[in-house]
Amino acid sequence: MTTQTAQGETSPKTAAFDTALNAFCDIQRAQAVLALILDSYVESISDENVLNSLFVVQNEINSGFSTLERFIWPKDDSTADKPQETVEGGAA
């Protein structure tokens, strides 16, 4: 998804979105590879430091993934601040 300006250039906002989306996909692939490694080899890894490091990496990947997810698909909180409508003459 790219938007071009009248001069044929990609807008900075679109370029930032595209970059974030590409990073999101890269992190998603890294997350899948690490999950595969942990699922397949966690029981055969005898070095506690290696195992702990893999879990730290997994947490960092998940954190980056969540951060980019919020940037790419922000939640619309504008409806949360609106008061609920009441119906006149409703059932008591």
Give the pLDDT score at 28. 92
* Per-domain boundaries in the chain: 28-72
Q: Which of 37, 39, 31, 32 is nearest to 65 (CA)?
A: 31
- The amino acid at residue 20 is A
Q: What pLDDT is stored for residue 33 in this prediction?
A: 94
Alpha-carbon span 14 to 47, nearest angstrom:
45
For residue 84, name the pLDDT band (cuts at 50, 70, 90): low
Query: What integer is the mean pLDDT of 42-63?
Result: 93
Contact by Cβ (8 Å): 56, 48: no
Q: Cβ(10)–Cβ(2) under 8 Å? A: yes
Please state the rounded mean pLDDT for residues 40-63.
93
Whether the full predicted model's pTM is greater than 0.75, yes or no, is no
pLDDT in tens, 10-46: 678 888 888 888 998 999 999 999 999 999 998 999 9
